[in-house]
Chains A and B, each alone.
Chain A
Amino acid sequence: MKVWVPCDAASVACGADEVAAAIASAAGLRGESVEIIRNGTRGMIWLEPLVEIERDGLRHGFGPMAPEDVPALFEGDEHPKALGPVEDIPFFAQQTRLTFARCGRTDPLSLADYEAGEGWQGLRRALDLGAEKTVEEVTASGLRGRGGAGFPTGIKWKTVAGAEAAQKYIVCNADEGDSGSFADRMLMEGDPFCLIEGMAIAGLAVGATKGFIYIRSEYPHAIRTMGAAIRAAREAGIIGDSLMGQGPRFDLEVRVGAGAYICGEETSLLNSLEGKRGMVRAKPPLPALEGAFGMPTVVNNVLSLAAVPWILTHGGAAYAEFGLGRSRGTIPIQIAGNVRHGGLFETGFGVSLGTLINEIGGGTASGRPFKAVQVGGPLGAYHGPDDFDLPVCYEAFAEQGGLVGHAGFVVHDDSADMLALARYAMEFCAIESCGKCTPCRIGAVRGMETLDRVAAGDPAAIELLHELCEVMEKGSLCAMGGFTPYPVRSAIRLFPKEFSRAQEAAE
Chain B
Amino acid sequence: MDRRRFGQLTALFALGASLPRMALAGEWEAVLAEAQGQTVYWHAWGGDPKINDFIAWVGEQAQAQYGVTLEHVKLASTADAVAQVLAERDAGKTTGGAVDLIWINGENFAAMKAAGLLHGPFAENLPNWPLVDVAGKPAVVTDFTLPTEGFESPWAMAQLVFEYDSARVATPPRSVTALADWAAANPGRFTYPQPPDYLGTTFLKQVLYGVMADPSVLQAPVDEASYAAQVAPLWAYLDALHPNLWRAAQAFPQNEPALGQLLADAEVDIAFAFNPGRASAEIAAGTLPDTVRTVTFDGGTIGNASFVAIPFNATARAGAQVVANLILSPAVQARAQDPAVLGFQTVLNLAALTPEDRARFDALSLGVATLSPAELGPALLEPHASWMTRIAADWVARYGVAQ
B partners with A:
no
